[in-house]
Chain A
Amino acid sequence: MNSIKTYQLQYILLAILLIFFFLLNISLGSVKIPLRDILNILMGHSIEKESWQYIIVNYRLPKAFTAILVGGGLSLSGVLMQTLFRNPLAGPFVLGISSGASLGVALLIMGSSLFVGTFASFLVSGFSIAMAATIGSFLVLLSIIVVAHRIKDTMALLIIGLMFGSITTAVVSVLSYFTSKESLQQYIFWSFGSLGNLSWTQLALLSGLFLLGVFITIAVLKPLNAFLLGENYARSMGIQLKKSRFLIILAASILAGGITAFAGPIAFIGLAVPHLTRQLFKSQNHHVLVPATILFGAILMLICDTISQLPTSEYSLPINAITSIVGAPVVIWLLVRKRKMVF
């Protein structure tokens, strides 16, 4: 079996790229700040312009860290789902987790338009949106786990997840049909995804969820590798199917649900990054694949975020559109060039 040592060079390369794009990400924006000052701020020195320091510490740094967590977490979630369902089209959202979050947010934003005045604006603050998304994705996650416990067939679970997704999407459509223009707009803005709205407290919470997801994944690395041979072989090698499946779903859901709650439903990354990683590392061994995917996802998300803030302009584009516009051609190019998918 290939071990991590075999891929030392690639890991070092990825780590360098990550640092490079991290620095690039925080040095670009609507306000020009010289790199020397940025490094000074990062080192903890104070600089002359307090406004620059404020921008870096309270806006750009949390956003860059959010990008790393979102990219890494969604990609890891994608690997877990693709291995569990043995399906290259599976991603973090196949089980309807993002639809659940969307439903929560839709209920909050569109439902609160029934109230008027200050109470409504209190309801639709950034924090309550995150709460609604968390509750929504958690409820879907809960029903998936209940169903997963009763159903033996993993493929049936996949279909049920898709059905959950359809139901919640339909309810959101009905809600948006009856809601006011302003609420609809607000909902659509949320669905574009955003990395920039997190405070340091929220970022700490997101990091906690991310680490929890990673720890559970480490605990199921062995079953994940066994699942490469299919469930029956895995069982014959002493893997406890139900327990492993439960933990894999739990890890993927915590990652995808937590990220959607704080950053909105971000498409594409979770589906594509695992494929990109497999092309680069040519390994299916999860010991190699898991750390590589997290690094790769974080880098790609940083790049997408750098592009979306349209350097030197005052506008920033919806991150959800950028991930697909940047990422999809890369995947198409890789598959066409190699003419074969590594899965």
Chain B
Amino acid sequence: MGELVAVVGANGIGKSTLLRTLANVQNRLSGEIKVKSKELKRYSPVQLAREISVVLTEHIPAKNLSVIEVIALGRQPYTNWIGSLSEIDKEKVKEVISLVGLDTLQHKNCFELSDGQLQRVMIARALAQDTSIILLDEPTTHLDIYHKAYILKLLKTIAKKTGKAILFSTHEIDLAIQLCDKMLILDKNETTFDEPCHLISKGSFQNLFPKDLISFNNETGTFKINK
């Protein structure tokens, strides 16, 4: 158990919409969403918050919160009516901090962090929420290639270690092919879901973008600009 799944597709195809709908941030247009074979709408807000946590693209407004404070806020679905942390909550926060490797940064303020570090903090906050599903909306934007790989590798490790289902949208198709267990390709005509190697052999990436500018190389698993 524990899978890392990427959602890929062209701009405007609906990756964010899909994730937001799954997270119950916006209403579904049609169809059914079931979490653990129970209809999404039948969860109470707190119940749902114990099943699904999110990492969004938006910046958090309170930049002078410390790293540990942001992560501790992830425990809200479990805290009492006034929101004070129990010993279990504190233990969980500690565990998450060491899992994501934020020990040295935990008392820094968020405005002191780089984009990559901040993204790790937000992932740690989602982990502290202790849900079976984590949804991430483009977790690698604004990061350099090293940190892109670092974040994805971290997600992979988390999925394996904790047995969580991690679903993220991304434009880093080549990185996702190398790391993900499964991929969901959103396209105008059809939506495919499979392991990356099968998707390559099926040629699913070939039709993702108009062929006049870039084409997908099946051997290297990357996109090349046509010259």
**What residues make up the interface of A, taking CB atoms closer than 8 Å to B?**
1-3, 86, 218-219, 221-222, 225-226, 228-230, 232-233, 235-240, 282, 284-285, 287, 342-343
Main secondary structure of the interface of B (DSSP, over half): loop
Q: A221-B82, A236-B25, A237-B129 are in contact. Are A230 and B65 (CB under 8 A)?
A: no
Q: Which residues from chain A contact B45 at a C-beta distance below 8 Å?
A: 235, 238-240
Q: What residue of chain B has the Cβ atom nearest to residue A226's Cβ?
A: B76
Q: With the chains together, A164 CA to B1 CA distance in Å?
A: 56
Q: With the chains together, A2 CA to B25 CA distance in Å?
A: 30
CB of B173 within 8 Å of the partner chain: no
Q: With the chains together, A1 CA to B23 CA distance in Å?
A: 26
Whether A225 lies near B73 (C-beta < 8 A) is yes
Q: Which residues from chain B contact A230 at a C-beta distance below 8 Å?
A: 56, 58, 60-61
CB of B225 within 8 Å of the partner chain: no
Whether A1 lies near B54 (C-beta < 8 A) is no
Q: Which 3 A-B pairs have the closest CB atoms?
A: A238-B49, A222-B83, A238-B46
Whether B54 lies near A2 (C-beta < 8 A) is no
Q: A222-B82, A225-B83 are in contact. Are A237 and B74 (CB under 8 A)?
A: yes
Q: Which residues from chain B contact A228 at a C-beta distance below 8 Å?
A: 60-62, 65, 73
CB of B53 within 8 Å of the partner chain: yes
CB of B81 within 8 Å of the partner chain: yes
**What residues make up the interface of B, taking CB atoms closer than 8 Å to A?**
23-25, 44-50, 52-54, 56, 58, 60-65, 68-70, 72-74, 76-77, 79, 81-85, 125, 129
Task: Give the Cβ gap from B203 to chain A, nearest Cβ, in Å.
Answer: 37
What are 19 of the A-B contact pairs (CB < 8 Å)? Answer: A1-B85, A2-B69, A222-B79, A222-B81, A222-B82, A225-B73, A225-B83, A226-B73, A233-B56, A235-B25, A235-B45, A236-B56, A237-B53, A237-B129, A238-B45, A238-B48, A285-B69, A287-B82, A343-B63
Task: Give the Cβ gap from A316 to chain B, nearest Cβ, in Å.
Answer: 39
Q: With the chains together, A221 CA to B84 CA distance in Å?
A: 10
Whether B82 lies near A1 (C-beta < 8 A) is no
Q: With the chains together, A86 CA to B52 CA distance in Å?
A: 25
Q: With the chains together, A228 CA to B25 CA distance in Å?
A: 17
Q: What residue of chain A has the Cβ atom nearest to residue B79's Cβ?
A: A222
Q: With the chains together, A86 CA to B59 CA distance in Å?
A: 12
Q: Which residues from chain B contact A238 at a C-beta distance below 8 Å?
A: 44-50, 76-77
Known: A228-B62, A284-B64. 10 other contacts (CB 8 A): A3-B84, A222-B79, A222-B82, A225-B73, A225-B76, A228-B60, A229-B125, A235-B45, A236-B56, A285-B69
Whether A232 lies near B73 (C-beta < 8 A) is no
Whether B84 lies near A287 (C-beta < 8 A) is yes
* B64 interface neighbour in A3, A221, A343, Cβ under 8 Å: A343
Q: With the chains together, A233 CA to B49 CA distance in Å?
A: 10
Whether A233 lies near B62 (C-beta < 8 A) is no
Q: With the chains together, A141 CA to B48 CA distance in Å?
A: 33
Q: With the chains together, A278 CA to B104 CA distance in Å?
A: 25
Q: With the chains together, A125 CA to B191 CA distance in Å?
A: 74
Whether B81 lies near A343 (C-beta < 8 A) is no
Q: With the chains together, A9 CA to B65 CA distance in Å?
A: 21
Task: Give the Cβ gap from B72 to chain A, nearest Cβ, in Å.
Answer: 5
Whether B60 lies near A218 (C-beta < 8 A) is no
Q: Which residues from chain A contact B48 at a C-beta distance below 8 Å?
A: 238
Whether A232 lies near B65 (C-beta < 8 A) is no
Q: Which residues from chain A contact B72 at a C-beta distance below 8 Å?
A: 1
Whether A237 lies near B62 (C-beta < 8 A) is no
Q: With the chains together, A7 CA to B50 CA distance in Å?
A: 32
Task: Give the Cβ gap from B168 to chain A, nearest Cβ, in Å.
Answer: 15
Q: With the chains together, A282 CA to B107 CA distance in Å?
A: 13
Task: Give the Cβ gap from B187 to chain A, nearest Cβ, in Å.
Answer: 27
Task: Give the Cβ gap from B16 to chain A, nearest Cβ, in Å.
Answer: 12
Whether B65 lies near A284 (C-beta < 8 A) is yes
Q: A235-B25, A238-B48 are in contact. Are A342 and B83 (CB under 8 A)?
A: no
Q: With the chains together, A62 CA to B58 CA distance in Å?
A: 48
Residue from B69, B72, B79, B83 whose CB has the most chain A CB atoms within 10 Å: B83
Q: Which residues from chain A contact B47 at a C-beta distance below 8 Å?
A: 238
Q: With the chains together, A202 CA to B168 CA distance in Å?
A: 58
Q: Which residues from chain B contact A285 at a C-beta distance below 8 Å?
A: 69
Q: A1-B68, A237-B77, A238-B77 are in contact. Are A229 and B60 (CB under 8 A)?
A: yes
Q: With the chains together, A82 CA to B216 CA distance in Å?
A: 50
* B54 interface neighbour in A3, A218, A233, A342, Cβ under 8 Å: A233
